[in-house]
Structure formats: structure tokens, C-alpha cells
Chain A
Amino acid sequence: MSAPFEKLPTWVEVGVIPLVNVVVAFLVAGLVVLFIGENPLEAVKILIWGALGFGEGVGFTLFYTTNFIFTGLAVAVAFHAGLFNIGGEGQAYLGGLGVAVAALALDRYVPWWVTLPVATVLAALFGAAWALIPAYLQAKRGSHIVITTIMFNFIASSLMVWLLVDHLSPVGSMQPETRTFEAGGTLPELGGLFHLFGADMGAAPANISIFVALAACVFVYYFIWRTKIGYEIRATGLNPTAAVYAGISTVKITIVTMLVSGGLAGLMALNPVMGDQQRLQIDFVQGAGFVGIAVALMGRAHPVGVVLAAFLFGMLYQGGAELAFDMPTISRDMIVVIQALVILFAGALEHMFRPGIGRAFALMSTSQRERVVAEEERS
């Protein structure tokens, strides 16, 4: 079979094409705003001001960014093995259970810096455990991981509602949530850091889990590009048949990749549960697991790209809230639309502009070559 697409230089492949895709996604989002009868440029202005214009806005932006780095990395790691982990939502939910177990057990006895590592380990373990079953079923029994992870999202949601309503809520409370953690179960906020720069973070919940997120980025970089298993993961993702010939066990790769992916998704819970609410609540994930898909696609599954894309989506979430306040006709659901468009254009339609860009590039390089030839003839 002939290759469907011609090969382009790397910088066009990883730079120009994704950029064009994302820009088109945002242009279409602008059209949607126009359709509703608002001025898109005005909307962008409000959005950027709301996300970055003042200390509290930046604090909220960073808070959301932290969530999306974790879930984006989770999806990205799975992408490298050719797996589509759509279950970040459920894995993050279970991760919250791990965080709550650690915090509820330790918060009265030890300071936060003892609780944090324990909570980190438990969050990752719980998230990984929730990804293990779909991984095992895909690797050993051939059930499609996309379908099983979707099913596991729903099962996780039912399980957590049951746990929170019937078992984890304090006696006499009607609220489906755990008791509020004491000081030993709360993460320090970034307010002090903001003061160094002379800014006031206000009520924004940004906290030190953002450093855990950045550490996770470094870990993912080393794991994927600097370890043997990372090499095997990439080999499997690029060509599973060749990987098997090279003696790589796809069963092992699938399971290890999904464990890491689920663990990263589980870590996301540190931020809202220990950092913001200081208790485990129903539905604290709030779609971050799904935003991770857009973030990973936009960031081309590279940690640096993920951080940038997560920051952009963090801006969209915080700026979108301000936008909904200033332009009541545009509700916060605009973010979901933008997310959908990014997934559509950067994911499903990623090859749409390739022929055009390829032709433009060919034209550019031939005209360049002609110029060089012409100059050589002159001299």
C-alpha cells in the first residue's frame, strides 16, 4: 500500500502543521462567537485580561494549568504506545480517593510535607490501579482500551458516589463529601511566591502541587526518551508488528504504559482535593481528564508542549469564567466548544491542511532552489 502522505521536513511536521491546526480551531471558535452575536476580538481581550491581567486571575490560571498538565501527560504517555487513554476522568477520580485516604489518616498527626509524599504515592497507585484492569484486558484479552476506559469512567463515578454518600461522609452529614482536612492535609498556596513579585493572589487556589506537575513533566521526558522501556514504548507506538519482531513484549508495554498513564491522571487529584477544597467531593475532576486529550493532542505528546497547551487551557478556563461574567450570552461552555475544536482540528483532522502546506512548502523550496541556481549562473 502506498503511503497516504508525503514526508515533510521535521520543522514543518512538528511545528507548522500543528500550529495551523490549532489556529484554525481558534478561528472557528471565533466564528461561533460571531454567530452568537458578540465581537470575538472583544471576547479574546476579556479572556486574556481575565486570565493574566491581575494576580487572582493568574492564580486561578495556574491552578487549572496544574490539573491539565497531569491529565495531559497521562494521555500523552499513552499516545506514545499507540494507546488512547480516555479514562483519565475515572483514574483522576480514584486518585482523589488515594489522596483522601492519606490526608484523612495523617492530617492530625504530621505536617503537610509528610502527608504530601504519602498522598502523591497513594494518588498515583489508585489511579494506576484503575487503569490496570483496562490495560490487562487490552493486553491479554484483546478488549478495546477506548471502550473499557470509557466504561471505567462511569463505573468510577458510580463507585465514588456510593463511597462518598454511604461510607466517607461524616456521621450526621448529608453532604456527599469527606470531613475537611486539618492543616496536615492541606498544601501551601502560592500566595507567598506571588508576594515576592508584588502581586496579590487573592482567593485563587494555586498551590505547590504545580511543582509536582512540573516534576512529573521531567519524569515523563526521561521515562519516554531516556529509558529502555521508554524506547520500547515508542517503538510499539510507531510500529507494533516491528516491535514484536524486535522482541518487545506488547503485553508488558501496554500494562506499564497504562500504569504510568493512570498514575499521572491520579496525581491530578492532589491539586483540587489537597490544594483547593481540602476534602474529597463528588465530581471534583470536572472534566479535566477529558481536557487532557486536547492538551496532549495540542502539545504533540511532548512534556514541553503539554505544559504550554495546559497553560493555554488554564487561561481558557479562568478567562472563560471572566468572559461569562462580562458577556452573559457567552457561557463557560464556550471552553468546551474550543476544546472540541482543538481535538477535532489537531486530532481527527490533523492531515487536512497537510497537502496544502506540503504544496506551499514545495513551491517555496523550488523557488529558493531556482534563486540559488540563478545566482550561481551569474557568478
Chain B
Amino acid sequence: MENFEPKIIGFLCNWCSYAGADLAGVSRLQYPANLRVVRVMCSGRVDPTFVFKALDGGADGVLIAGCHPGDCHYSDGNYNTMKRYPLMLQVLEQMGVDKRRVRLEWISAAEGPQFASIVNEFTEQIRQLGPFKKGERTERGAEVG
């Protein structure tokens, strides 16, 4: 466990969060290299299938980041993400996945420092949770029936 380096997949929206990550980079802010970034046009494009597939394929955590509500380049995409996120968490719990492994954040193009601190914090959280083992038992996964 001590040498555990979490694998985290980050789906970042092209217009805000990816630019925020870029700003963190050009500002030379330090954050862990555990995040593997996938640039998507909009957080609304992040089908829950992507998240499930990432976890199924060996990720320990998934970060979805998009524009702040009201700022979406496609006006509504991030609202769709916001609305299905709690439903996705419920299903994850029932499937026996700790919902702390999947996180949604709004990060604007100007928020380089926020991006770095979110990645720091989330990486630390996943480190605490340990490697994602299929079949980890959650309250909901064991209770529903």
C-alpha cells in the first residue's frame, strides 16, 4: 500500500477546465502526476459509460471537470452533467463502488490554482481509499435488495 500510486482519469472540458489545467501548467504549479487527462469538448459529453469503463479498466478514481454553471460553451452541457452525476453516484454505490472515487468539479480557464489544489486533494483522497478492487463493499451495495 505504501507504494500505491493511484491511477486517476480526468475528463476535462475543452473550454474551461482543460484551459484551467493548462494555466496551472504554465504557472508552474505543482500537482501530482497521477491524473491522466482526457480532453473532451464538454463535460456533458462524458457519458457515464466512460466513467464505468475507466473504473472497469483499472482506474482508481475519475475526475470530471467542466465549466461553471452558466458558462457552458454549449449553454446546457454542464447542466446535463450536474443532473446525472448524483444518479451515477447512486448506481456506483449499488454496484459496490465507493462514490468518493468519482468527483465532479467546475473549474474555469482562469482557475489554475484551483485545478492544482483539486488534483492534489483528490489524489490524496484516492490514495487513502486505496486501489480500486472490484467488489469493494459499500453500504448501499450490501443493503439494497
A and B associate in one complex? no
